[in-house]
Chain A
Amino acid sequence: AQTVTQSQPEMSVQEAETVTLSCTYDTSENNYYLFWYKQPPSRQMILVIRQEAYKQQNATENRFSVNFQKAAKSFSLKISDSQLGDTAMYFCAFMKQNRDDKIIFGKGTRLHILP
């Protein structure tokens, strides 16, 4: 069975700083997807960034980037130039590249951006 581990329950950083959220996972699969989802206090879950395991290049989306280390099964999220609106719960998630498979979430990291 696949597991996703986020070892940082809560973090705080000053606005405009860079912050890195950690995630490790365990799987015997070779093909899969990894995601970072953001859940602001309003509670709607939205996708931040996605990584396909077969791609060696790390995904980037504006101020968000990942450090994907497949051999180490590590998938960290870096937020550059953090903004107050980045305050949210961040969930790391895993999905096998398989018909109709499910998304498995880590326990989340609560991120506070301080003014």
Chain B
Amino acid sequence: DAMVIQNPRYQVTQFGKPVTLSCSQTLNHNVMYWYQQKSSQAPKLLFHYYDKDFNNEADTPDNFQSRRPNTSFCFLDIRSPGLGDAAMYLCATSREGGRGNTEAFFGQGTRLTVV
């Protein structure tokens, strides 16, 4: 059974047209992460939540926003997508961050194409 679910799997959007990617989890984990991964590169952390506490990476462009309305759901909003934002976007969750028997569980990702 899928534990971290990302929708849609594939998203095509027009240059400059706002787009929202969604992530849901059935694990009841405190922490949720959004990563951007371009072809053959390491995932790059955009931001993460500990419960409702939002942590933005210093180099994440303002064009990227996030919402976490409850424990189960987290959204990535790209306000004005550019061609350089085409990538795989990965959502992940972990329990209590770095405490305990921790690991991150990843969704299958959403591949974003900007046309």
Which residue of A44, A89, A108 has the most chain B CB atoms within 10 A of its CB atom? A44
A50 touches B103 (CB 8 A): yes
A103 touches B45 (CB 8 A): yes
Q: Across the A-B interface, how many residue pairs have beta carbons closer than 8 Å? A: 70
Tally of chain B residues near chain A (CB < 8 A):
28
A31 to chain B, nearest CB (A): 8
Tally of chain A residues near chain B (CB < 8 A):
27
A84 at interface, CB cutoff 8 A: no
**Residues in chain A near residue B31, CB distance under 8 A:** 100
**Residues in chain A near residue B55, CB distance under 8 A:** 100, 102
Distance, CA A105 to CA B92, complexed state (A) = 13
Q: Which of B15-23, B65-73, B75-83, B104-112 contacts A (4 or more CB under 8 A)?
A: B104-112
Name the residue of chain A whose CB is nearest to the CB of B43.
A105
**Residues in chain B near residue A58, CB distance under 8 A:** none
**Complex partner residue of A33 from B50, B98, B109, CB under 8 angstroms:** B98
A44 touches B109 (CB 8 A): yes
A95 touches B98 (CB 8 A): yes
Distance, CA A45 to CA B107, complexed state (A) = 8
A68 at interface, CB cutoff 8 A: no
**Contacts A47-B104, A50-B103; A100 near B109 (Cβ below 8 A):** no
Q: 9 tightest A-B contacts by CB?
A: A100-B50, A45-B106, A100-B97, A105-B42, A97-B98, A98-B98, A101-B98, A44-B108, A107-B42
Q: Which residues of A contact B (CB under 8 A)?
A: 32-33, 35, 42-47, 50, 89, 91, 95-108, 110
Q: List 24 A-B contacts (CB under 8 A).
A: A32-B98, A33-B98, A35-B103, A35-B104, A44-B109, A45-B43, A45-B90, A45-B104, A45-B106, A46-B106, A47-B103, A91-B42, A91-B43, A95-B98, A95-B102, A98-B97, A98-B98, A99-B99, A100-B53, A103-B33, A106-B42, A107-B42, A108-B42, A110-B40
